[in-house]
Structure 1
Amino acid sequence: MNSVELAPHRIAGLLAPAVDRVFRAGMLAGRDGGGAVLAQRYGGTAGTGFLVDLRTRLAAPGGRVDGPGFAAVTRYQDPVACSRAVDKQVAYGMLQRSADGTLSASERGAAFLSELYQVYADVTEELWAGHDERVSRMVAALGRLLSYALVLADEEGDDGGSAFTAMAPPYEPDGTPSGVLLLNRLGTLRYHRADAHAAAWAAAGHTAVSVAALPAGPERTAIELETDRRAAGPYTALGAEERLTLLADLAALPG
């Protein structure tokens, strides 16, 4: 029975809400634990919004997100509103945009991201205090998942529309605390599933707008099952017990 329950496509579906819960808890803790105050020093949301979203790539020296990658990351948002928001962040001196639409952090933006990483270090240490062994185990498992996901993406080829390849691997400078590693690896894994979901609803004839309005029912269920199938590949890098352990560890984290 366990072998069926822990098949890669099955664990992909089971892990998705657990990954979302823990990631969102970490991000909320960051906002309430100093991130919002920090952002105000750099122009507030108008100046920093996409830097937060793209932090795991733009914090890297020379880190960039190209136009198709940005479109994939923001596929559920209004592209006109996104363009205007980028305009503001460029005007604030936080983002730089090249002629082809590629985004990078300015010197000021990089300074903000460096401070933001420290905020996440502080809040995740507090949020997940007492779970050091569990966090370290998840960091290791997620590292293997993301590495294999990148291998699979390379083998399949990237046509420039992948949020995951735009954001992976997350920037992890030497000395990055385990809590930050966990938060950012979870966030990057979410982009992998987001791509799988987009491929599933596109194959079913939907757009980002129409699928968002799709009610619960057989069609949505079929899209979710197809998403699980498409998202399953990286989980073959873990054994059945490791998959179950990852699920149990996520469930045990507060937040």
Structure 2
Amino acid sequence: MSDTVGLPPHRYAAFVAPAVDRVFAAAMQAGRHGGGAELSQRYGGQPATGFLVELRTRLAAPGGTVDGTGFAAVTRYRDPTACRRSLDRHVAYGMIHRRPDGGLAATERGMAFLAELYQVHAEVTEELWAGHHDRVLRLTEVVGRLLSVAHGGEAFHTVTPPHEPDGTPPGVLLLNRLGALRFHRADAHAAAWHAAGHTAASIVALSDGPQRQAIELETDRRAAGPYAVLTAEERLTMLADLAALPG
């Protein structure tokens, strides 16, 4: 099937985004219900672990750090003062360390939490996606290819490349790679609304209409780049595999 008959990259970017969101959100929710909430409570609860979960693919890596610009990009739709206060609580709980250069790193305790979190995600994705092993393997490979050619913004570069130690199960690889792919689109969206003269606050408040539609179309155009490496058949297979995963 040719791109003129199938889905060219910019149209495909619009179709695949909600499918990626659905699968990612289902797996993260399964993680919370499948041991993640109990794990978090053992380390102090949401005030101690929230940003570690969000930034796990960088902070779980040995020596992994997140700088201030990257943190601001990941949290661009949230109140900066509230985010700083939340980080203060993470530091107080001994989970995150603020480096002299302003970067964030997981403490030894934080790293222990992240190692356990990876194990929780391994168990829940294995259960959630049981019977879909081939699909998970195909998606893991194809999303890995997309990430390898993607040129995202600050949020994307903050969470990539995902920390993938030897022996990481396919379900965890897929979950974290999908999360990184979502940040690629998030950066494309931010670039689109910024080019249209909006701020994070004003784009959230913008109602549906021609301007919103124009920004979404521009988002699709900016998010399309990685999908050009896939054939039309590979794009359709990716959509079908995402649609078939439970959640």
The structure-2 alpha-carbon separation of the partners of 1:2 and 1:212, relative to structure 1 and needing over 3 Å to count, comes to: farther
Q: Distance in 1 between matches of 2:37 and 2:114?
A: 13
Counterpart amino acid of residue 181 in structure 1: L
Are 2:191 and 1:190 equivalent residues in the alignment?
A: no
Q: Distance in 1 between matches of 2:223 and 2:154?
A: 13
Aligned 8 A contact 1:51 1:105 in 2: yes
Gaps of 5+ in 1: 154-160
Offset, 1:2 = 5.8
State which drifts further: 24-33 or 231-240: 231-240
Offset, 1:199 = 0.2
Match of 1:250 among 238, 242, 247: 242
Equivalence for 2:213: 221
Q: Kindly report which structure 2 residues correspond to 1:68-217, keeping only aligned pairs within 5 A, or say none.
A: 68-149=69-150, 152=151, 162-217=154-209
Q: Distance in 1 between matches of 2:89 and 2:163?
A: 25
Aligned 8 A contact 1:67 1:100 in 2: no
Q: Distance in 2 between matches of 1:162 and 1:236?
A: 22
Aligned 8 A contact 1:95 1:105 in 2: yes
State which drifts further: 212-221 or 108-117: 212-221
1:133-163 CA-partner distances (Å, limit 9, x unpaired): 00000000001000011xx45xxxxxxx610
Counterpart amino acid of residue 91 in structure 1: A
Q: Distance in 2 between matches of 1:237 and 1:167?
A: 22
Q: Secondary structure of the residue that 1:75 maps to in structure 2?
A: coil
Q: Secondary structure of the residue that 1:3 maps to in structure 2?
A: coil
Offset, 1:171 = 0.4
Offset, 1:7 = 0.6
Counterpart amino acid of residue 140 in structure 2: V
Q: Distance in 2 between matches of 1:240 and 1:2?
A: 6
Offset, 1:216 = 1.1
Gaps of 5+ in 2: none
Offset, 1:122 = 0.3
Q: Distance in 1 between matches of 2:233 and 2:162?
A: 26
Offset, 1:127 = 0.3
Are 2:225 and 1:233 equivalent residues in the alignment?
A: yes
> TM-score, structure 1 length as denominator?
0.94
1:177-225 CA-partner distances (Å, limit 9, x unpaired): 1110110000000000000000000001111111001111111111000
Aligned 8 A contact 1:33 1:119 in 2: yes
Counterpart amino acid of residue 47 in structure 2: A
Counterpart amino acid of residue 221 in structure 1: Q
Equivalence for 2:3: 3
Q: Distance in 1 between matches of 2:129 and 2:175?
A: 11
Offset, 1:99 = 2.8
State which drifts further: 235-244 or 22-31: 235-244
What is the alpha-carbon root mean square deviation over aligned residues?
A: 1.1
Equivalence for 1:28: 29
Q: Secondary structure of the residue that 1:29 maps to in structure 2?
A: helix
Q: Distance in 2 between matches of 1:101 and 1:199?
A: 25
State which drifts further: 177-186 or 3-12: 3-12
Q: Kindly report which structure 2 residues correspond to 1:45-84, keeping only aligned pairs within 5 A, or say none.
A: 45-84=46-85
The alignment covers a number of residue pairs equal to: 246
Q: Distance in 2 between matches of 1:102 and 1:13?
A: 34
Offset, 1:74 = 0.4
> TM-score, structure 2 length as denominator?
0.97
Equivalence for 1:43: 44
Q: Distance in 1 between matches of 2:122 and 2:74?
A: 24
